[in-house]
Amino acid sequence: MVDLPPCDDVCGALEEHVRRFFSPRGVEVLTWEAGPIRAVNPHFRVLRVAPAEPGGLWEYVSTGGWAATAERDDGLEFVLSTPVATPWAVELLAMMVYYHRGGQLGLGHTVPIGEPWLPGSRCDHLLVSLPYPFGPELELCHVGDRHVEFLWLLPITQAERDFKLAHGQEELEQRFEAAGLRYWDVNRGSVV
């Protein structure tokens, strides 16, 4: 990973939106050099937001995902929370932004990641969801005529993904709410 300055006007506006939302927490600008992400999306960056308090969550926020649909006036960015600082979160965001090229992802999609989201976890999929832990203030950023939506990547299990396909995302989210989902807990069990 390499620290980089903002990439351009859109990325700069998105970075400012994230910094303002998470103020006064520290924010680092990172990127991922491995794999194909830099070749297909030179705008890709990750903002790593430090925890608000010791032992709190790290927030990883993509900027550059909007370029997957640059020809349109809308775009997506992704947010992932982790209990520890880890380069794996940056790589996961690189994978999601790479996969999103051409506008492949949207609200309610699930993506298998091929291994646990963090070591020891049963969660090996990411659900693209509304950013419930952050509220609407983070969710939407207007950059000129472009509307960029920040969606949350929620780590889920294969069983939860299968349940979502069979019963819908709303039913799954009701299960999460009833269980008091600790989405950041690496050791959490499946709610189904």
Give the model confidence (pLDDT) of 157-168 as tens digits.
Answer: 999 999 999 999
All residues at 6 or more sequence positions from 96 whose CB lies less than 8 Å from its CB, including other chains: 62, 65, 78, 105, 111, 126, 153
Positive or negative, the CA dihedral 90, 92, 96, 98 is positive
Q: Are 72 and 101 in contact (CB under 8 A)?
A: no
Overall residue count recorded for the chain in this entry: 192
SS3 content of the chain, % helix, strand, coil (to 5): 30, 25, 45
31: CB partners within 8 A, 6+ apart:
1, 2, 4, 38, 44, 45, 46, 90
Better-predicted residue by pLDDT, 129 or 6? 129
Lookup: tokens for 120: 């020891």
pLDDT over 50 at 62, yes or no: yes
Average pLDDT over residues 103-130: 95
Q: Which helix (H) or strand (E) holds 133?
A: none
- Give the span between the Cα atoms of 36 and 34, in whole angstroms: 7
Residue-level pLDDT at 4 = 34
DSSP for 41-82, written as a single string: -TT-EEEEEPPSSTT--EEEEEESGGGGGTTSSEEEEEEEEE
What are the backbone dihedrals phi and psi of residue 139, each rounded to the nearest 5 degrees, phi first?
A: -55, -40
pLDDT range class, residue 108, cuts 50, 70, 90: very high
pLDDT tens for each residue of 2-25: 333 334 688 899 999 999 999 999
Name the nearest CA neighbour of 84 among 118, 114, 36.
Answer: 118
Q: Please state, in angstroms and rounded to a whole number, the distance separating the CA atoms of residues 84 and 73.
A: 35
How many Cβ atoms sit within 10 Å of the Cβ of residue 162? 16
State the pLDDT at residue 68: 85
Residue 144's SS3 state is coil
